[in-house]
């Protein structure tokens, strides 16, 4: 391996993806950041009860960081926190009608984004890329 080249390439790709998504979301007037969009889609795709801990695992961030993001989302009418029906110690996080509209737009746009990202990549290259990503993900467990 080429020293830190792999980590640098992954970090650069991630930053560029977040910047591109942020710009795209602005052009589409979605009113959310890429992280907020990811949280909205996670809740949207998991129609059962979702709590803060579920989201922490999904985006791999600290509790305090996520709390700040969720507070902002609640202030901007993207989510509602309510007591869980099944566990009084948990708060469920629910999408508002406004964020459900955003989720629908994001779901439709994700098809276009994936199409754009996959341009000039053959099926064989995509399979190899997916396999490599899976191996890197497994290797992360050893760090």
pLDDT in tens, 76-118: 999 999 876 676 677 889 999 999 999 999 999 999 999 999 9
* pTM (predicted TM-score): 0.83
The three-point CA angle 22-11-5 to 5° equals 150
What is the dihedral sign for C-alpha 22, 28, 31, 36?
Answer: negative
H-run or E-run covering 33 = none
CATH number of 5-140, picked from 1.10.600.10, 1.10.3720.10, 1.10.10.10, 1.10.260.30: 1.10.10.10
Which contacts of 32-37 are long-range, i.e. CB under 8 A and separated by 24 or more positions? 32/78, 32/102, 35/59, 35/69, 36/69, 36/72, 36/73, 36/78, 37/102, 37/106
Pick the closest to residue 102 from 26, 40, 34 (CA basis): 40
- Across the range 116-130, mean pLDDT stands at 96
Domain map (residue ranges) of the chain: 5-140
pLDDT in tens, 14-68: 999 999 999 999 999 999 999 999 999 999 998 778 888 889 888 888 889 999 9
Q: Are 108 and 31 in contact (CB under 8 A)?
A: no
Q: Give the torsion sign (CA, 19, 25, 26, 27).
A: positive
Provide the pLDDT for residue 40.
96
């Amino acid at each position: 391996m080429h020293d830190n080249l792999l980590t640098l390439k992954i970090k650069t790709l991630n930053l560029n993806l977040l910047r591109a998504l942020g710009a795209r979301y602005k052009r589409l007037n979605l009113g959310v950041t890429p992280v907020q969009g990811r949280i909205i889609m996670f809740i949207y795709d998991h129609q059962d009860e979702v709590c803060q801990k579920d989201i922490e695992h999904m985006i791999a961030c600290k509790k305090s960081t996520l709390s700040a993001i969720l507070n902002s989302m609640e202030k901007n009418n993207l989510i509602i926190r309510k007591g869980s029906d099944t566990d009084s110690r948990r708060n469920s996080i629910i999408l508002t009608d406004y964020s459900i509209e955003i989720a629908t737009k994001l779901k439709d746009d994700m098809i276009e984004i994936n199409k754009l990202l996959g341009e000039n990549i053959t099926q064989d290259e995509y399979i190899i890329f997916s396999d490599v990503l899976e191996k890197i993900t497994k290797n992360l467990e050893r760090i």
